[in-house]
Amino acid sequence: MRPEKWIVWEPFLLALMVTAGIIIGMRLDNQMAPSKLLARANSKTSPLAPVKDAIKYIESRYIEAIDAQTVNDTLLKSLVSQLDPHTYYLSGWHYHSFKHQMSGSYNGIGIDYEVLDDSLTILHALRGGPAHKAGLRTGDIIMSIDSIQVTGSNLSSGEVYRIWQSRDRELSLQVKRASKETFEVSIEKATIEIPHIPAAFMIDSVTGFIKIASFTNSTYREFMKELDALVNGGCKNLIIDVRDNPGGSFESVVDILNQLVPERDRLMVYMEGQHVRRTEFRSKGNAYFTFDHIIVLINQNSISGSEILAGVMQDLDRGIVIGRRSYGKALVQETFPLTDTTALNLTIGKYFLPSGRFIQRPFSDRRSYALEWESRGASGEFFFPDSMPNGFSDTSNPSDHGRSLPSGVGIIPDIFIPADSLHFSLQWKTAKQIVWKYALKQYGKNLQSIPDNLEELMAYKERSGISEALFEHLKDHPSMEASFVEKNQADLNHLFWSEWIEFKLGNNEYYRFFSAVDPDIQAALRYIRKSNSEKLTEDQL
């Protein structure tokens, strides 16, 4: 085989070798050089010899030239589809996006954007970032990037992303405002730190709230910075929100747990797999802060790392979990780069909580696994605690206080909070999209008159007449029913103004605004008050 052809097919064969460690029990050492792995594939006795021979025949005898990239992508996607649901192949801009998410930073100008009605619209300009310093703001429409038209060109978000990536360090943008003003601005790219703690604030004089959006290489550093500020503000009780958190860096979760488990040498979580020896992660006993109460908020979209955090708090009886049953993923992945633009995200092990329970949902029936949310909705689980499965309890490994905890079904909360059935209706999902687009457009038109603080913004809300205009807009929309709008005006109005608060005042004020009506947060506050009241009574006795 000629060297250049070997390079073309190397990603496929390397992926086969890594995966073969699972399929045929071959021991793979992560420290082993790729050349040694590939040497095994070349062995005459290798079970992969037919694959190698087939590729050789295709290259040397097939009637037409082969598009190597397309073949690689097709074969690798087919290969990983035969493994577990959380092993996958990454290529192109999906791989770039994955690396940015895991590293916690990227090279860019610091904006969130979306292609809306064929217009590249800025959703947020990160405070202090290059775009923010250049004067760009929510609602601005980018017409072109370095003379490449991106609005009115029927481009997808992925295509726009590739244009951003291909540009040099300095970008020339043509921008249009809602006021119809059009201007050009030059912005130099920089390293942008992605915030993964979007909100942290004191809910009352002794209770702090911290939202963790995902776990990356920078999450622990952000967590400690925000935690220090909360404690300096009088925080004695901590509410950690990992709802809708998809997980991420295992190491980041362990670092955060070390700040929540003050004792030394407590088993927090362990991992093992076919080619990974049992590895235990124990507390270091170097927690800088202590709390009277820790509450972790979860829901059906709390996945992997979020479940480790909540599960350890349960198993060690260090805190309580409030919300709805979590996703149920207890598999650990490692990323193996194949080329500069492709990688294999491979499941290498399982993690177990300190009680010994394994919370991974069964996935032998892949269709049922994929349709889990539909199944939960049909069973009424989102709304009634009795509909949650019991899983199987390992009574030989209970929590610290002797509670029997279920395995195989994710994390079941200590206090169940039903979802709002309104938010599961088709009309509400449609309304959310309409309200969001309307809020974005109206924000750009009214920006000059929108106050800069929450109190004045709420007063502006009452006198502006914008809420009434919103209701009329919804009633006139062909996808909406007027009776639905009439019945749910309060929720729709709250949704609209929460968007404006986020646009104008940022995530912290957005979450603070929602906290007053968030049933999970309110349940956490009730639990703290009740626990403190009971302790006070015991102390008096």
Which pLDDT does position 396 carry in this prediction? 54
Residues sharing a CB contact under 8 Å with residue 81, sequence separation 6 or more, in sequence order: none
Task: State the average pLDDT over residues 37-52.
Answer: 60
Residue 68: exposure state from Cβ atoms within 10 A (0-12, 13-18, ≥19): middle
Contact present, 382 and 323 (Cβ < 8 Å)? no
| Distant-in-sequence, close-in-space partners of 305: CB < 8 Å, separation ≥ 6 | 215, 245, 247, 248, 249, 250, 252, 253
Mean per-residue pLDDT for 69-73? 83
Q: Which stretch, 4-8, 23-27, 96-100, has highest mean pLDDT?
A: 96-100
**Least confident span in 149-158, 186-195, 402-411, 512-521:** 149-158
- Strand 111-116 and strand 119-125: the pairing is antiparallel
CA–CA gap between residue 106 and residue 96 (Å, rounded): 9
Cα 173 to its chain centre, rounded Å, is 30
Whole-number mean pLDDT of the chain? 85
pLDDT at residue number 536 = 54
Q: Which tokens sit at 151?
A: 């609005």
- Across 128-148, average pLDDT: 89
Which residues have a Cβ under 8 Å from the Cβ of 313 and sit 6 or more positions away?
260, 294, 296, 319, 320, 321
| pLDDT at res. 94 | 79
Higher pLDDT, 106 or 419: 419
Q: From CA 368, how far away is CA 389, in angstroms rounded? A: 15
pLDDT of 139 strictly over 90: no
Q: How far apart are CA 138 and CA 502, in angstroms?
A: 10
Rounded distance between C-alpha atoms, residue 231 and residue 202, angstroms: 9
Assess contact for 105 and 470: CB atoms under 8 A.
no
> Which residues on adjacent β-strands are paired with residue 250?
none
Whether residue 120 contacts residue 142, with contact meaning beta carbons closer than 8 Å, is answered with yes
Confidence of residue 537 (pLDDT cuts 50, 70, 90): low
pLDDT range class, residue 157, cuts 50, 70, 90: confident
The closest alpha carbon to 281, from 292, 265, 293, 296, belongs to 265
Does position 358 have pLDDT exceeding 90, yes or no? yes
Closest CA to 282 of 309, 304, 254: 254
Among the listed residues 517, 541, 511, the one whose alpha carbon sits nearest the alpha carbon of residue 198: 511
The answer to whether 324 and 416 are in contact (CB under 8 A) is yes
Which top CATH class is 199-337+348-419? alpha beta
- As a whole number of angstroms, the distance between CA 68 and CA 64 comes to 12
Say how far apart CA 449 and CA 144 lie, in whole Å. Answer: 28
Q: Report in angstroms the alpha-carbon separations of 8 from 68, 80, 301, 332, 338.
A: 6, 19, 38, 29, 11
- Six token digits for residue 519: 């049933």
Residue of 445 and 162 predicted with greater confidence: 445
Q: Which residues contact 215 (CB under 8 A, 6 or more apart)?
A: 196, 245, 247, 248, 249, 250, 252, 253, 256, 305, 306
Question: Does pLDDT of 12 surpass 70?
Answer: no
% of the chain at pLDDT higher than 70:
89
Tens of pLDDT along 426-468? 999 999 999 999 999 899 888 888 998 889 999 999 998 999 9
Between 184-193, 217-226, 478-487, the lowest mean confidence (pLDDT) is in 184-193
Provide Rg for the chain, Cα atoms.
26
What would the mean pLDDT of 241-262 be, rounded to a whole number? Answer: 95
Q: Residue 533: its pLDDT value, please?
A: 78
**Model confidence at 355: pLDDT above 80:** yes
Structural domain spans, the chain? 3-83, 105-193, 199-337+348-419, 423-505
Return the pLDDT at 397. 61
Q: pLDDT tens digits for 92-124?
A: 877 877 887 777 778 889 888 888 888 888 888
Give pLDDT, residue 539. 53
Domain 105-193, what fold? Answer: Pdz3 Domain (2.30.42)
Taking Cα atoms as reference points, which of 30, 29, 55, 32 lies closest to residue 42?
55
d(CA 410, CA 329): 7
pLDDT of residue 538: 52
Whether the full predicted model's pTM is greater than 0.75, yes or no, is: yes
Residue 484's pLDDT band, with cuts at 50, 70 and 90, is very high
What confidence tens digit (pLDDT) does each residue in 322-334 have? 999 999 999 999 8
Instruction: Judge contact between 51 and 13, C-beta under 8 A.
Output: yes
Task: List phi, psi (to 5°) of 259.
Answer: -90, -10
Q: Which helix (H) or strand (E) holds 133?
A: helix 130-133
Residue 439 contacts residue 467 (beta carbons within 8 Å): no
Q: Does 413 score more than 50 pLDDT?
A: yes
